[in-house]
Amino acid sequence: MREQISLQQVNLKKRTNKVMEQESTHWVSLFDYLGKPARRELGAQVYQKAKIDKVKVKDRQVETSNYKGKVILYPYEWLHSYFRSMKPVEGSRI
């Protein structure tokens, strides 16, 4: 019986840590991060890299005078490390 309680406590701690991590994550869109609209190609590249890295993403519906639809949200820390690791490309708009 003691092992079951211990296992239950471990599982509860894991779930609690996961919830705390999700609540403390700062989620941003490419627009939020870059301060300007991202090109479609860039959005696809970032999304593919997130899938490769198994990064959880979220989405949000937005409606502005320029855009109406879904945007993908990424954890700020991951997005920051993604752009820091990129080498500047000649003619890049980033």
The secondary structure of 29-68 as a DSSP string is -HHHHHSSPPPHHHHHHHHHHHHHTT---EEEEEE-SS-E
Other C-beta atoms closer than 10 Å to the C-beta of 46 total: 22
Residue 72 lies in a domain: yes
**Is the pTM above the cut of 0.75?**
no
Containing domain of residue 70, as a range? 26-85
Chain centroid to CA 27: how far? 6
Q: Provide the pLDDT for residue 16.
A: 45
Q: Provide the pLDDT for residue 15.
A: 53
Q: Which pLDDT band, with edges at 50, 70 and 90, does 94 fall under?
A: low
pLDDT 10s digits, 4-33: 566 666 555 555 445 445 556 899 999 999
Average pLDDT over residues 26-43: 95
CA 9, CA 32: separation in Å to the nearest integer? 39
Residue 12 lies in a domain: no
Residue 7 lies in a domain: no
Residue 56 lies in a domain: yes
Angle, helix 76-85 to helix 40-52, in steps of 10 degrees: 110
